[in-house]
A = this chain, B = another copy of it.
């Protein structure tokens, strides 16, 4: 029961060749399904292969070919369901491409990010999908971009020349804010996210834009930053509520922040949707399952991931550089947390 093939030299193309009575070159041709080899020999070789339990050695192959069939996916926070869905989308799109995804979770650490990117390069990754960690340096990206195909996902980095897959943050935040205004809210805050993130800037711009269009003032104190996590949202909301004159509605940076904020609101003895309207951003599965169900901006992480993967594959296959951008639609999904249904219920 000791490990079999541990000491035994691995079965190689040469063993197959010998056993099938052909040359290694022929075996290689069979491997790549070349139409050059006669059907009969093909079968003989194939037979030898599974008789000997042959396992193709991709490492050796890509050594010769100078490029591996690996792509890296670098995710800044895999514990956020949004990014998990993104990862699944990428993985799904890669499925029949002949490429295999490496995954790494940087947990927002640029140091860790540099490590994993390096590791992926060392493994000969043909390309990278990168959802950059907070404070990622533009120079870092440019340096990378010069060396291998890379698509930036979700988080734009200003000044970076690289393909990009993001959602329409401006439009999404605008729509969410407008919705709250239509519901009659006048004092609205923006909660969560950190100022140096472009995503934050875009969403805040959407928020302020909509406010200004409705001739509503936005005090600086109505924009509260926090880490884009549940705890961050909780803390930010708590701060907001303990200051005097609380807003009647909040637009949250994303769903996890929103869920944290809802918790803080409840903890404060208030009711989400009645006392304070809440809207999120992302539409993760969780948004549907919290109570009250979260009104949020849907961006479909899964298909964003697929897009990113397809874009990367295109870039790998075409060989030369062509930057692409894809901005995914952001659709408002009205549920309960904004108070819309609540209002309706009262009206009837």
Contact between A57 and B122, CB atoms less than 8 A apart: yes
Structural contact, A6 and B319, CB atoms closer than 8 A: yes
Query: A320 contacts which chain B residues (CB < 8 A)?
Result: 2-3, 6
Q: Give the docked Cα–Cα distance between A120 and B286 (Å).
A: 32
The distance from the CB of A200 to the nearest CB of chain B, in whole angstroms, is: 23
> When the two chains form their complex, are residues B57 and A124 in contact, meaning their CB atoms are under 8 A apart?
yes
A95 to B87, CA, bound (A): 19
Least CB separation from A263: chain B residue: B289
Task: Report the minimal beta-carbon distance from A61 to chain B, rounded to whole angstroms.
Answer: 9
Nearest residue, chain B, Cβ from A291? B291
A62 — nearest CB in chain B belongs to which residue? Answer: B59
Contact B263 A121 (CB under 8 A): no
A194 on interface, CB distance cutoff 8 Å: no
Q: Closest residue to A315 on the B side, CB-wise? A: B3
| A323–chain B nearest beta-carbon distance, Å | 9
Q: Which residues of B contact A321 (CB under 8 A)?
A: 1-3
User: At the interface, yes or no: A85 with Cβ under 8 Å from chain B?
Assistant: yes
Residue of B whose beta carbon sits closest to that of A81: B81
Interface residues of A in 43-63 (CB under 8 A from B): 55-60, 62-63
CB under 8 Å from chain B, chain A span 270-306:
285-286, 289-291
On whether A123 and B100 interact (CB within 8 A), knowing A6-B319, A78-B84, A263-B289, the answer reads: yes
**Who on chain B is nearest to A149 by CB?**
B3
Interface stretch among A102-110, A129-137, A184-192, A324-332? A102-110
Which chain B residues lie closer than 8 Å to A149 at the CB level? 3
Contact B60 A63 (CB under 8 A): yes
Indicate whether A121 sits within 8 Å of B55 (C-beta atoms), given known contacts A1-B321, A63-B63. Answer: yes
Closest Cβ of chain B: how far from A48's Cβ, in Å? Answer: 18
Whether A88 is near chain B, meaning CB under 8 Å from some CB there, is: yes
Residues from chain B with a CB closer than 8 A to the CB of A124 are 57-59
CB-based contact B2/A79 at 8 Å: no
Query: Are B122 and A58 interface neighbours, CB within 8 A?
Result: yes
Which residues on B sit within 8 Å (CB–CB) of A81?
Answer: 81, 84
Docked CA distance A1–B263 (Å):
49
Q: Report the separation of the CA atoms of residues A189 and B3 in the bound assembly, to the nearest whole angstrom.
A: 45
A59-B68, A95-B112 known; 5 new pairs, CB 8 Å cut-off, are: A3-B148, A57-B122, A79-B88, A102-B102, A291-B291
